[in-house]
Amino acid sequence: MIRNKIFSLFILLCFSGVAADELNTKDQLRYQSLIQEVRCLVCQNQSVAESNAELAKDLRREIKLQIKDGKSDSDIKKYLFDRYGEFILYEPAFSQKTFFLWFAPIILLMMFYGWFKKIGN
């Protein structure tokens, strides 16, 4: 325990920049799930969690900073949306043009249930 403390103090002294970057456990979880929902815009089809591109690194840093600043997930998503457009979010926002997309499960299940009824008789 004490050794750990000394160790972290040592780390703090050596790389204060790095150490200041660390998040607590709860925020780590939020960070990990958030970066998986954000698309790397210069890659083919990768989230910023997966990509090694410079942009992805910047976005990861940005998201981490905003979490540290106490921003909520939706604040951060809104920021990214406003700045980079809706393409950046893997979860499309509900709007007029994504209406059919989001209602697809219900519509499809109803449609197929009708089909089932028709064949079944």
How many other CB atoms sit within 10 Å of the CB of residue 51? 22
Number of amino acids touching other proteins (CB under 8 A): 43
- Nearer residue to other proteins within complex by CB, 46 or 68: 46
Tell me: does residue 121 bind other proteins (CB under 8 A). yes
Q: In Å, how far from its chain's centre is CA 75?
A: 12
Selected from 30, 47, 71, 73, the binder of other proteins by CB under 8 A is 47
> SS3 for 13?
helix
CB of 90 to other proteins, least distance (A): 3
**What is the amino acid identity at position 42?**
V
Tell me: does residue 39 bind other proteins (CB under 8 A). yes
Q: Which of residues 1-20 bind other proteins (CB under 8 A)?
A: 7, 11, 14-15, 18
The answer to whether the beta carbons of residues 102 and 91 sit under 8 Å apart is: no
